[in-house]
C-alpha cells in the first residue's frame, strides 16, 4: 500500500489519509510514504466518521 500512496501522492496536490491505528499496526507505512516520499502536504483525517455540523464552514489557506 505504501507504494500506491507514493505513486499517486506524487501526482496529487494533497495526500489525505486516515489516522493510523497503532494497536493494529495499520497505516504506519502509508503515512511514512506520504510524508517522506511524495513531496506533498499530508492531511490526516480523524477516526470519527461524522464531522460536526459546522465543520469546514470557514476555511483559510495560507
Report the pLDDT averaged over residues 38-52: 85
What CA–CA distance (Å, rounded) separates 37 from 28?
13
Least confident of 7-11, 21-25, 42-46, 53-57: 21-25
What CA–CA distance (Å, rounded) separates 14 from 42?
6
52-60 long-range Cβ contacts below 8 angstroms, 24+ apart: none
What CA–CA distance (Å, rounded) separates 22 from 29?
11
Report the pLDDT averaged over residues 36-52: 86
Strand partners, 44: 17
Domain chopping of the chain, boundaries: 2-38
Amino acid at each position: 500500500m505504501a507504494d500506491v500512496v507514493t505513486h499517486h501522492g506524487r501526482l496529487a496536490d494533497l495526500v489525505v489519509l486516515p489516522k493510523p491505528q497503532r494497536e493494529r499496526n495499520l497505516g504506519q507505512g502509508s503515512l511514512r510514504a506520504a510524508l517522506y516520499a511524495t513531496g506533498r502536504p499530508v492531511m490526516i483525517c480523524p477516526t470519527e466518521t461524522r464531522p460536526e455540523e459546522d465543520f469546514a464552514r470557514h476555511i483559510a489557506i495560507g
